[in-house]
Structure 1
């Protein structure tokens, strides 16, 4: 991504998305592109009145009401005190030198979280609140979203 001004992502010989590295990473137009360009947490849910719902998660999104998929990158999830919703439980913790990588189990699936090193790393079983920043509505079937 670092050496390109514009990228074409192909899926089985068809163009899946064309855009800048920033566009592809931050605004993937499909499940395939979200997964292909780095790690992505893909969450299935429903949109009603401009809000995406999945278990105890509620996020503002654009587009029509109905079944939906959102994509959120691991570094765009902040771990907070367990009094914040949505809630999760740390399933695993891995030290990666400059960051910690956690898998957090939630009511809407497991999330990969990339977090800064803190004085005390979280351990499996710890309860956490989650803040999802930069979630993007993504097409469920590989097409463009509304």
Structure 2
């Protein structure tokens, strides 16, 4: 088992607030995020972009390992995940993550590649997470 952390801090509330997001590894350190980075294109990041990066990287690695298990030893894979956020009543819902991948794998048929890619999509840990139980422990500080 491995565990990894991500953290976020938000100062102020609503549209006027500003936040910073970090990863435990330091890959992101106090990256700005907030209403303007999420909806107005301001510099920084947003949760959907981070989910997209996580999904694209997880799927790409899962596909790489699946191709290796199928006997392929050379190639390259590039994936983009486009995560869609839609207005839902008074809030928002992430409605989809569209994976678009291009691979170069010498000697594989398209039929075999499609089957392996479909399996990797279903079985990569982030695909599973997007359907996982989510727990919450919330504490209101004084």
Is the TM value for this pair above 0.5? no
Structure number with higher helix proportion: 2
- Structure of higher CA gyration radius: 2
Structure number with higher strand proportion: 1
Question: Which structure has the higher relative contact order (CA within 8 Å, separation 6+)?
Answer: 1
User: What TM-score does the superposition give when structure 2 sets the normalisation length?
Assistant: 0.28
